[in-house]
Each structure stands twice: as structure tokens, then as C-alpha cells.
A and B are shown apart, each in its own frame.
Chain A
Amino acid sequence: MDKTPVLIIDDEKNIRLTMSHTLEDLELEIDTAVNGEEAIEKMDKRDFSLVFLDLRMPGMDGMDVLREIRKHHSKTPVVIITAHGTVDNAVEAMKLGVADFIQKPFSPREIRDLAMSVLRRGDVDEQNAISYESLIELAARRIADREFHLAMEAVKRAIAMEPSQPEAYNLLGALHEVTEDELEAQRFYRAALDIDPTFRPAQSNLERVTSFFRNGGIKLVADGDETGEKP
């Protein structure tokens, strides 16, 4: 049987090395690309079952690479590699429909678990997802399909099962941002921080959302003052 082909797109040799090394143990066939141009060229020649993409690369912008992949290979699941604390593009990437995110640094176990769960994700649906983990998997699958409301439903069911996981609230916050309900998004980021005040992703999300509001969302001037920015 043919090995499952996986593509790793990253300008950093470190990351390509670590990831290929780790994923080879899973009997996957690993190919790598050092930039967006090379990646798109490779993807046009053959179908990959899974793609890892770093959004921060010199040359062709990671977001453009993602757009290109989503346009021409909409069935290929894409996992975004992010540096710790950076969430600038996460919401935009989610809107385009990505399979998952992985934050640097990552352990070999984390990479393998994520790769396997994304590759197996096709089996999970609204009927058979009954545990917290499988509901989060389902949400991730629906995000990749760009079915954001179904994804939200899944996360809510997950929260109902385990109400003390900051990740789930953070994810729900991000989904509200994707559907452009920033106030609700803030509420869920705050809920994540109530559970764990040190939870970094929610911290940065909240900072980003609230600074967005300062810069243009909330009217800070009295009615009738036309110099104020309108949302």
C-alpha cells in the first residue's frame, strides 16, 4: 500500500527537520518546501493528504499561500504552524478554513497526535461525537469545511461536557470573531481567562480584539461629533 503523502512548508530548516524526522515514524511519506512558490508547484504535481504551513515566511506571504491552496486544493487539510503568542492571522486563516493550528515549540508526540487526528478526522460527525475530545475534533473538522455555525454547536456541546477547559472557550471566542461578533468573542476570551489567567492564546486574543475596538469599533466621542471613527 502507498504511504500517505504529507507536505511541510517552512523556511526554517529546524522545523522541517524536526517534523520530517518525527512524522517518518508514522509511516508517512514526507516532502518539504522552503517557500510558497515551491509548495504550490509541488501541490500541483500530486495530491497530499495533509499539509503543514508556516504563515511567517519570507517571499510569498503565508496567507497568500493558504488562499492559493484553499482555492485549488480545497479538500487538502492544512495545519497552520504558529510561533507562540502570535495570533494575528489566526482568525483570518480560520475564515479560509484550516484543519488546525500547532504552536511552536512542539513535542514529537504533539506532532504525531495532531497528524493522526487530522488524517482520521473524516470519520467523526455530529452523531458519533460524544466525548469532549471528539466534539473538539468535530469542531475542527467543521472549521475546515467552513461550516462555522456547526463548529460552534460542537464546541458548545464540548463545553457542556467539560466546562473548565480554557481552550474550548478560546476556540468559541475565535469562532465568534470569524462570524464577526466581536462582543461575544470578547466574552468567551474573558471566560477562558477566568479559568486560567495565564492562558496565553486567550490573553493575546483579548488584547487584539479590545485594541481593535479602541481603534475603530466603539464610539468614544459624543453623538454629533463627526471626527470620530465610525465602526
Chain B
Amino acid sequence: MKNDRYIVIVGCGRLGSHLANRLSIEGNSVVVIDNKESTFENLSLDFSGFRIEGDATRLSVLKEAKLGDADVLIATTREDNVNLMVAQVAHKLFAVPKVIARVFDPRREEMYKQLGVETICPTTVAAELFLIEASKGGKR
């Protein structure tokens, strides 16, 4: 049953669409929300989920996506504050078991961890990888 989850993804940019395509091909039921319809062109032909055009900071849009049924919510828009708001609403109001938000500003991570929102900061993650690779270099 692992790949049979109901997953809501907010933001259909490069990261959002990539996740949506992958999770859909793995067999999950995926809903993508974006306020620009043109971003849905980023979805691949194998994407077998649903698209909702709308502003995810509006409760009615999240209800339309049946967020209450979701097993996972991933907020991937370019705006930290949108991601943080949607993630909190999903966690507190819709009791979504797993909530992940992309956050660009690493200083916000700590506070939101306390609020029950798991955040991933692409810059921090990338920096870690660079540091690991860099530490392998050097003349010895």
C-alpha cells in the first residue's frame, strides 16, 4: 500500500511538477494546485493525477483538493510564506499526517519545526552536499 497514497502538491514549478510526475508514476494519487494554469505544462504525459487551478492560501481551494483525505502535503511554491501558511493549515486544520514545506530562508526553519511543519531548505541541502564533496578534495 506504500505507493497508494493521496498526495497534494502545492506549486507546479520545476520542483513541484518533478515531484508530481515521480509520485504519480509510482502509483500514488496526486493532486497539483497552482494559481497559473500554464505551469501544468510542466507535468509529463505519464502524470495520471488531477490539476486544480487556484490560490492555495484560500481555504475553499484546499477543500476542493479534498485536503482532509490527503496522506501527504508538499508545499513547493517560490514563496516561503505561502508554503508555510499552507503547511500549517494542512497540519492543524486538516490533520494531514505528513506535511513538508520548501523554505528558502533557513532562518525560518527552526520556528516552523516547533509548529509541527517539516521544512526542507534547498540551499542548506545543496550546501551540505557541496561541503561533503569539497572535503574529499585537497592534495595530501
A/B touching: CB–CB < 8 A? yes
Q: Which of A28-36, A104-112, A128-136, A143-151 makes up part of the contact surface?
A: A104-112
A75 at the interface (CB under 8 A from B): no
Cβ-defined contact, B52 with A13, below 8 A: no
Instruction: Known A198-B60, A200-B60; judge A17-B66 contact (CB<8 A).
Output: no
Distance (Å) between the CB of B140 and the closest chain A CB? 54
Nearest B residue to A13 via CB reads: B48
A89 at the interface (CB under 8 A from B): no
**What is the total of A-B residue contacts with beta carbons within 8 Å?**
45
Cβ-defined contact, A105 with B31, below 8 A: yes
Instruction: Known A85-B64, A200-B60; judge A108-B48 contact (CB<8 A).
Output: no
Cβ-defined contact, A107 with B66, below 8 A: yes
Nearest A residue to B7 via CB reads: A107
Nearest A residue to B29 via CB reads: A108
Distance (Å) between the CB of A116 and the closest chain B CB? 16
B65 at the interface (CB under 8 A from A): yes
Cα of A200 to Cα of B64 in the assembled complex, Å: 8
A14 at the interface (CB under 8 A from B): yes
A22 at the interface (CB under 8 A from B): yes
Within 8 A of A (CB), among B29-69: 29, 31, 47-50, 52, 59-60, 63-66, 69
Cβ-defined contact, A22 with B29, below 8 A: yes
Instruction: Known A22-B4, A22-B29, A107-B69; judge A14-B63 contact (CB<8 A).
Output: no
A25 at the interface (CB under 8 A from B): yes
| Residues from chain B with Cβ under 8 Å of A14 in the complex | 47-50
Cβ-defined contact, A110 with B50, below 8 A: no
Cα of A13 to Cα of B48 in the assembled complex, Å: 7
- How many positions in chain B have a CB within 8 Å of any CB in the partner chain? 19
- How many positions in chain A have a CB within 8 Å of any CB in the partner chain? 18
Cα of A108 to Cα of B2 in the assembled complex, Å: 12
Instruction: Known A18-B29, A84-B64; judge A105-B4 contact (CB<8 A).
Output: no
Distance (Å) between the CB of A111 and the closest chain B CB? 9
Distance (Å) between the CB of B59 and the closest chain A CB? 6
Which of A17, A18, A22, A107 sits near B70, CB closer than 8 Å? A107
Distance (Å) between the CB of A110 and the closest chain B CB? 6
| Residues from chain B with Cβ under 8 Å of A22 in the complex | 4, 29
Cα of A109 to Cα of B66 in the assembled complex, Å: 12
Within 8 A of A (CB), among B120-136: none
Cβ-defined contact, B69 with A109, below 8 A: yes
Instruction: Known A105-B66, A200-B60; judge A84-B29 contact (CB<8 A).
Output: no
Distance (Å) between the CB of B117 and the closest chain A CB? 22
Cα of A109 to Cα of B47 in the assembled complex, Å: 19
Which of B5, B27, B52 sits near A105, CB closer than 8 Å? B52
Cβ-defined contact, B70 with A198, below 8 A: no
Cβ-defined contact, A17 with B29, below 8 A: no
Known pairs A13-B48, A22-B29, A108-B5; list 19 more (Cβ under 8 Å).
A14-B48, A14-B49, A17-B48, A18-B29, A18-B48, A21-B27, A22-B4, A25-B4, A84-B52, A105-B52, A107-B6, A107-B29, A108-B4, A109-B6, A109-B69, A110-B69, A198-B59, A200-B60, A200-B63
Question: Chain A: residues with CB nearer than 8 A to chain B?
Answer: 13-14, 17-18, 21-22, 25, 84-85, 104-110, 198, 200
10 nearest A-B residue pairs (beta carbon) = A105-B50, A107-B6, A107-B69, A17-B48, A14-B48, A105-B31, A84-B64, A198-B60, A108-B29, A18-B48
